[in-house]
């Protein structure tokens, strides 16, 4: 099974390092995941072997592919059995609309903690599981995708109705 980890376009060193740590990799392996694709963005990894534009390695029984950026991560999200992500709104909504199992780790180093607010709200609704860097391995171990509530499909009519109401058209 495949896990895709993405940090988006910013830097989230802690999530990148946690994703390739022994506790997380062993938990992934023990949960049946044998492949990890890691989009590291601008993050810096302590181990020099990972700091090239892209690399492939095997650790703790998991095949790991790491790269910085691609024009789109749609393909990786579609192929993944589990997505672990920062809690950026674009990524979160894209993954949920694909119907994928999602664990988010808000990047608390960002201004105004908007990722934490989004992650918390969507977790309360049951659409995803939010966790911290420290609890990532235990969250993966206890994660039950079947307990997630499917994200509702996009309905553009609601937005257009809101705009029409605001403009006084209806």
Model pLDDT for residues 116-138, shown as the tens digit of each residue: 999 999 999 999 999 999 999 99
Which SS3 state, helix, strand or coil, does residue 25 take?
helix
pLDDT in tens, 77-97: 999 999 999 999 999 999 999
CB-CB contact of 105 with 85 (8 Å): yes
End-to-end CA distance of the chain: 50
């Amino acid at each position: 099974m495949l896990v895709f980890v993405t940090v988006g376009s910013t830097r989230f060193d802690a999530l990148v390092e946690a994703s390739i740590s022994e506790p997380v990799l062993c938990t992934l392996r023990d949960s049946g995941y044998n492949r990890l694709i890691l989009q590291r963005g601008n993050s810096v990894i302590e181990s020099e072997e990972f700091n090239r534009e892209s690399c492939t390695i095997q650790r703790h029984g998991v095949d790991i592919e790491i790269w910085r950026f691609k024009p789109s991560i749609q393909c990786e999200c579609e192929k993944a059995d589990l997505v672990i992500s920062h809690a950026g709104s674009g990524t979160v909504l894209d993954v949920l609309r694909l119907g994928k199992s999602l664990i988010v780790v808000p990047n608390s180093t960002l201004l105004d903690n908007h990722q934490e607010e989004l992650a918390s709200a969507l977790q309360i609704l049951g659409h995803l599981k939010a966790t911290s860097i420290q609890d990532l391995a235990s969250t993966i171990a206890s994660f039950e995708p079947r307990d997630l509530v499917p994200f509702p499909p996009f309905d553009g009519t609601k937005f257009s109705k809101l705009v029409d109401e605001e403009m006084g058209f209806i």
